[in-house]
Chains A and B, each alone.
Chain A
């Protein structure tokens, strides 16, 4: 459940974090061959699950809710929504 991470000095107990990854029924999977590194997926991801690391866009699954906006907005259709096979 909510992990207690002390990021801010303001609150007593730390950061309120919800395990939103458990909501996911489909996960976005990026096809690196089609990706043109335009960055629109990062721009539109509501939970900031897409990061820019080592000059590549990558999907992280810790908080991704599986909304699928990235798959719809990708101009090259490089992201597919794959059904989750139980668990993380």
Chain B
């Protein structure tokens, strides 16, 4: 069964009408992950775009057809550790434990609980949909926001020109824990993403699995809603977001980029980078190249 057949026959677990913006990749990622995991799932959605859009429910109503929890921004992984431990004790190790968290709840506030859960090798799948900022509250900077990006807390002006620091590479940091499975995925490469989620779910029965998914945000990044998938494609093609996975201690690059497009093409396709100078672009290009070279070295070992 190929991935399209799988997606068209599986049931949608999320409420049909949720208030995510037009063209939201976070919504797409959430729906696809839960379509693959199916009914036998418990999901944790910390505060962020997705819980704000109503998937955890509102006013005594639920937003999903499966049990859904809203922990705090900081304790998603530790909360789910407890739920997972209880299910193991009850003899229900077959239940999929999934956290779908934004980058703020993964890389900033929730990082200590995430790192702790990964170190304890708790049995769960933690998915981070990375829209590079706190989009739910109006695009404040987060630690995964890329350098030069305009946010509401790092505006373009005389004093600074967008975010000054490069982004934190959470997926690589997480992969350095002795976890069961770690991967990056993009909704534009759906076949790859579906395969990674399936593998992640299988590995989550044995230990901690982490998947980092890029989720371009039309509202925050300033591009037309219909271009979301194109932007994700460009992020992969320009090596700004390389796709790789780690299991059994080995790294594998899953989508090889033989001829990467210049990052300029990716940066100029949206509004949040519009103030970048040529020097900035050259520097971002260098960082992207270094990132890919590092991954290639890790994968070749």
Contacts and interface: CB of A to CB of B under 8 A. Distances in A.
A48 interface: yes
A48 B23 contact: no
A68 B23 contact: yes
Interface in B200-220: 218
Interface string B244-276: 000000000000000000000000000000000
Interface residues of B, number: 41
B70 interface: no
Nearest to A38: B4
A19 B17 contact: yes
B22 interface: yes
Contacts of B225: 67-69
Given A7-B65, A18-B17, A42-B4, A12 B60 contact: yes
Contact of B63 (A15, A19, A63, A73): A15
A44 B20 contact: no
Contact of A17 (B15, B25, B187): B15
B178 interface: no
Interface residues of A, number: 40
A66 B61 contact: no
A38 to B, nearest CB: 8
A20 B18 contact: yes
Interface of A: 2, 4, 7-8, 10-21, 23, 38-40, 42-48, 51-52, 62-63, 65-69, 71-73, 81
13 contacts: A2-B17, A15-B65, A16-B58, A43-B7, A44-B28, A44-B187, A45-B28, A46-B28, A51-B8, A62-B16, A63-B17, A65-B23, A68-B224
